[in-house]
Amino acid sequence: MNKDVKINWGNLGFNYIKTDYRYISVWKDGQWDEGRLTEDNMLNISEASTALHYGQQCFEGLKAYRRKDGKIQLFRVDRNAHRMNESTAKLLMPEVPVDKFIDACMQVVKANEHYVPPYGTGATLYLRPFIIGVGDNIGVKPAPEYIFSVFAVPVGPYFKDGLTPCNFMIADYDRAAPYGTGGQKVGGNYAASLHPHRIAVDRGFADCIYLDPSTHKKIEEVGAANFFGITKNNEFITPKSPSILPSITKYSLMDIARDYLKMPVYERDVYIDNIDEFKEAGACGTAAVITPIGGIEYKDKLHVFHSETEVGPVTKELYRILCGIQFGDIEGPEGWTYLV
């Protein structure tokens, strides 16, 4: 690490910090090259790249965690590799072999080991794998070449500090179309979310909640995180829809709720008009971890769940177990963690 870089680990937000090495591999003439680490954080690509004009790109997000014993582990990196290949399939981009994806992530963490925050700070090293269509092309068609890269950034909380409730408002806009790309991690979904996000933040909310784009009656996503609710009978509920990104954190919480907390777990429609079926609610994702939802504003009324300031007991338990597994304090199901 550059000796001049002094990081205040306990005070990190979710901001770009240039780390020492990133991985880069090029797809040309039908195959990926070997891939390599580089110190250069600039990409030199054709002005006519499909990623720039037609949104032919996708990305992933996962974290490296420092354990109490000083070792470093990744959480469910295989799931990110598979999900990236669902995005590449949708946008006619070449698949990245799962082993290559995992190896790239491992290389980047090892090469930037000093940027993995110390255990106990709550901070982590966020990995951002991505693929972009590059090369000379002007028609709307798949690119002739692709770049697969992984970079790393030390991060703290995405929303407010750690486990702190946040309020959200229902968006008047959609982030994706009913049979579009909402279920894939492609840049276009996030471009479409910038304007509604700005409105929410300007109005004092952490972010907005998207309803289903067909009927605008059912909850889908909480900004760049999935939604879950705990019913008054202690069931874990999360929405099901093809335009929701299949969150790896969400599927992990479903397993934790079922197997560790012995709760019934359902993926089903969640109607905004029936929101008072939940005594607690939260947003979950790699960046968001678990962010308790204090209240949701809908039709000029704020519906408060457990409390706007206190975290509900089930949310607290889910958070304790999830983070315990991610930081190596609690044994997780087989295959969830990868030692670097």
The one of ligand COI, ligand PLP, none whose footprint includes residue 245, by CB under 5 to 8 A per kind, is ligand PLP
Q: What is the Cα gyration radius of the chain?
A: 20
Catalytic-labelled residue, pool 68, 90, 110, 185: 185
CB 59 within 8 A of CB 80: no
Q: Check residue 331 and give left, alpha or beta (phi > 0: left; psi -120 to 50: alpha).
A: beta
224 binds ligand PLP (CB under 6 A): yes
Q: What residues contact 12, with CB distance under 8 A and at least 6 apart? A: 117, 123, 154, 155, 156
Using CB under 6 A, which of the segments 7-15, 24-32, 109-117, 223-231 binds ligand PLP? Answer: 223-231
User: Of 134, 166, 225, 270, which one interacts with ligand PLP (CB under 6 A)?
Assistant: 225
Q: Please list every residue from 269 through 288 that binds ligand PLP, using CB under 6 A.
A: 285-286
Residues forming beta bridges with residue 265, ordered by sequence position: 236
Gap between the Cα atoms of 289 and 249, Å rounded: 7
Return the one option of ligand COI, ligand PLP, none that residue 221 interacts with (CB less than 5 to 8 A, by type).
ligand PLP
Cα 190 to chain centroid distance, Å, stands at 12
| Residue 223 vs 295, nearer CB to ligand PLP | 223
Nearer to ligand COI, 224 or 244 (CB): 224
Closest contact distance (angstroms) between CB of 61 and ligand COI is 2
Q: How far apart are CA 298 and CA 172, in angstroms?
A: 10
- The SS3 of residue 269 is coil
Residue in 152, 245, 281, 289 binding ligand PLP, rule: CB under 6 A: 245
Nearer to ligand PLP, 87 or 247 (CB): 247
Q: Which CB, 211 or 222, lies closer to ligand COI? A: 222
Please, are residues 273 and 284 in contact by the beta-carbon 8 Å criterion? Answer: no
Nearer to ligand PLP, 21 or 175 (CB): 175
Within 252-311, which residues bind ligand COI (CB under 6 A)? 285-287
Only one residue has tokens 């300007």, namely 202
Chosen residue from 55, 61, 142, 246 binding ligand COI by CB under 6 A:
61
CB 37 within 8 A of CB 25: no
Cα(249)–Cα(72) distance, rounded to whole angstroms?
Answer: 19
299 catalytic per annotation: no
Active-site residues, by number, are 185
Binding site for ligand PLP (CB under 6 A): 61, 221, 224-226, 245, 247-250, 285-286
